[in-house]
């Protein structure tokens, strides 16, 4: 970050699980760390303004790797909470991070972009 501060221009994009915004039961350590990244992103987005550094985060939804470590009986249940009904692809996360790092997001700082298939939106399902 020192080089960015010297140039008075830069962008930091944190990647964090979406669980910092929408907690999941029985995952306290992951939720705590993700929530800390959310708070740090917001704070640094404000604190580093004088250095010309923007700080944002991508909140990653359910990944294929996460599903692989989920018991098979719960995988379908996890995906049922998503409007998109599938895990997020790595290139979708990369595209969001690229946008936040680019000049197109030059007015955005201290923000979190959920790339989560509608999880944080509270996808309403019919039962």
pLDDT for position 125: 57
Please indicate, yes or no, if residue 44 is contained in any of the structural domains. Answer: yes
Give the span between the Cα atoms of 102 and 58, in whole angstroms: 14
The CA dihedral of 24, 27, 33, 35, to the nearest 10 degrees, is 20
> What is the reported pTM?
0.88
Please indicate, yes or no, if residue 121 is contained in any of the structural domains. Answer: no
Please indicate, yes or no, if residue 83 is contained in any of the structural domains. Answer: yes
Residues with Cβ within 8 Å of 40's Cβ and at least 6 positions away in sequence, in order, are 14
pLDDT for position 127: 41
Which domain CATH number covers 99? 3.40.50.720
Please indicate, yes or no, if residue 28 is contained in any of the structural domains. Answer: yes
Instruction: Enumerate the H helices of the chain as residue ranges.
Output: 2-7, 28-47, 64-68, 72-79, 90-101
Residues (pLDDT < 50) of the chain are: 126-127
Please indicate, yes or no, if residue 58 is contained in any of the structural domains. Answer: yes
pLDDT for position 8: 82
- Domain assignment of residue 69, given as a range: 2-115
Structural domain tally of the chain? 1
Please indicate, yes or no, if residue 98 is contained in any of the structural domains. Answer: yes
pLDDT for position 123: 65
The residue count of the chain comes to 127
Please indicate, yes or no, if residue 123 is contained in any of the structural domains. Answer: no
Burial of 104 (C-beta count, 10 Å sphere; 0-12/13-18/19+): exposed
């Amino acid at each position: 970050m020192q080089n960015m501060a010297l140039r008075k221009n830069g962008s930091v994009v944190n990647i964090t699980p979406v669980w910092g915004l929408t907690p999941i039961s029985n995952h306290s350590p992951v939720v705590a760390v993700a929530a800390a990244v959310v708070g740090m992103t917001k704070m640094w987005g404000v604190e580093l303004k004088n250095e010309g550094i923007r700080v944002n985060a991508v909140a990653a939804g359910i990944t294929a790797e996460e599903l692989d470590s989920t018991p098979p009986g719960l995988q379908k249940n996890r995906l049922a909470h998503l409007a998109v009904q599938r895990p997020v692809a790595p290139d979708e996360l990369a595209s969001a991070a690229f946008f936040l790092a680019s000049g197109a997001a030059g007015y955005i700082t201290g923000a979190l972009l959920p790339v989560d298939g509608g999880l944080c939106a509270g996808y309403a399902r019919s039962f």
